[in-house]
Amino acid sequence: MGRVSLRALLLLLTACLASAAEPVRLAVAFDPAGAALQVSVQNAGQKPLLLTLGALIGSSYYDFRFRLIVTTPQGHDLRVIYTGGPGAIGGRIDPLVIPLVPGAVYSVAVPLSRFYVMDANTSLQEYIRKPGRLRIELDVEHAVCPLYGYPNPNMIPCWRGRLVSNVLVLPLGRTSTRRQSN
């Protein structure tokens, strides 16, 4: 989970060039084995920032705020859900806040087996063999940034906004770095 593939970094760089106005950038790539999605965020600004990326659920689970979108060749967005969380929560939920210094990249590999395409009644692992497009969106417009470093107030601002990643062309193996319009 700590390794970032060269392909993911190249896609992030391409996504960065495509959205130079955004201080935070989002990219998605398939890992070399095709078993996971590599999701990366980068602070492309000049100042450090905090990014609320989701929640930690107990010590074993996480829930990212990003939304995975699969689009059919006909232009229909399919509902995709994350199935890797717990069935019930018996402990605490903590915000997943990532501090990012300028130029820093946070990258995580999420197994494809943890996603289910509801409208196609199949796993994402199976669906990526069909034609279509895949992208990630992250909406943290109204994210709550906890008091990082309590009792002192945050000295680093919490970034808020909406990001759209590069687009991956399906079936797996063909890639486009074209950005979706909002």
pTM for this entry: 0.78
The better pLDDT of the pair 104, 12 is held by: 104
Element (H, E) at 64: strand 61-64
Question: Which of 83, 88, 106 has the alpha carbon at shortest distance from 159?
Answer: 106
Residue 105 has pLDDT above 90, yes or no: yes
pLDDT tens track for 107-116: 999 999 999 9
Nearest to 48 by CA among 103, 102, 96, 97: 102
The whole-number pLDDT of residue 10 equals 52
Quick one: which H or E segment has residue 18? Answer: helix 6-18
Q: Which two tokens stand for residue 36?
A: 């996971």
H-helix or E-strand spanning residue 123:
strand 122-123
- Show the tokens assigned to 62: 């996480």
